[in-house]
């Protein structure tokens, strides 16, 4: 079953079970997916939907940090609950060893050396690791490896 169909089924289930927090998070996700579909005038693939979810998770993490700095634990908790719902739709995260192996393979493939090769390596890694690893951490690991 596609990710799109899974989202629709889970929204229906949340409505039936009166899970208001879960339903709210799923509706936000569905609205973001539909908005991107309308903007691009096509149905999104599972990979594109995963990219939408990843962007929403990043927004939630940023919001949680800001709310905690501002002393708003109630709002931070709400954002964390939404992030937990969204995280369930992401693919299995890669381990640190798998990420290191992918970085090594990308460096060998591109023949990159020194800080100037970071862009080449990240161009290879980004599509392969999208949704399965935090690309900011991957970029930092690439910088450390090429420095």
- CATH code, 74: 1.10.1510.10
Give me Rg for the CA atoms of the chain: 18
pLDDT in tens, 72-98: 999 999 999 999 999 999 888 788 888
Distance CA 46, CA 69 (A): 35
Distance CA 67, CA 44 (A): 32
Does one domain contain both 111 and 77?
A: no
Nearest to 121 by CA among 134, 137, 104: 104
The total number of residues shown for the chain amounts to 147
pLDDT in tens, 18-77: 999 999 999 999 999 999 999 999 999 888 898 899 899 999 999 999 999 999 999 999
Distance CA 34, CA 41 (A): 10
Does one domain contain both 82 and 100?
A: no
pLDDT in tens, 115-142: 888 888 888 888 888 778 878 888 888 8
Does one domain contain both 7 and 79?
A: yes
Full residue range of the structural domain in which residue 71 is found: 3-87
pTM of the predicted model, to two decimals? Answer: 0.74
Cβ atoms of residues 76 and 64 within 8 Å = yes
Does one domain contain both 16 and 74?
A: yes
Confidence tier at 99 by pLDDT (50, 70, 90): confident
Confidence tier at 110 by pLDDT (50, 70, 90): confident
Distances (CA, A) of 97 to 7, 12, 26, 72, 137: 31, 39, 32, 37, 13
């Amino acid at each position: 079953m596609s990710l799109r169909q899974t989202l629709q089924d889970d929204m229906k289930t949340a409505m039936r079970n009166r899970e208001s927090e879960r339903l709210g998070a799923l509706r936000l996700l569905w609205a973001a997916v539909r908005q991107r579909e309308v903007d691009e005038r096509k149905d999104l693939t599972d990979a594109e939907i995963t990219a939408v979810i990843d962007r929403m998770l990043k927004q939630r993490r940023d919001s949680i940090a800001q709310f905690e700095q501002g002393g708003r634990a109630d709002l931070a908790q709400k954002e964390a609950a939404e992030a937990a719902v969204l995280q369930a739709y992401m693919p299995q995260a890669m381990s640190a060893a798998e990420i290191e192996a992918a970085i090594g393979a990308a460096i060998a493939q591109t023949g990159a050396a020194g800080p100037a090769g970071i862009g080449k390596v990240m161009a290879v890694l980004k599509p392969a690791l999208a949704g399965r690893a935090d690309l900011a951490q991957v970029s930092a690991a690439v910088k450390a490896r090429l420095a």
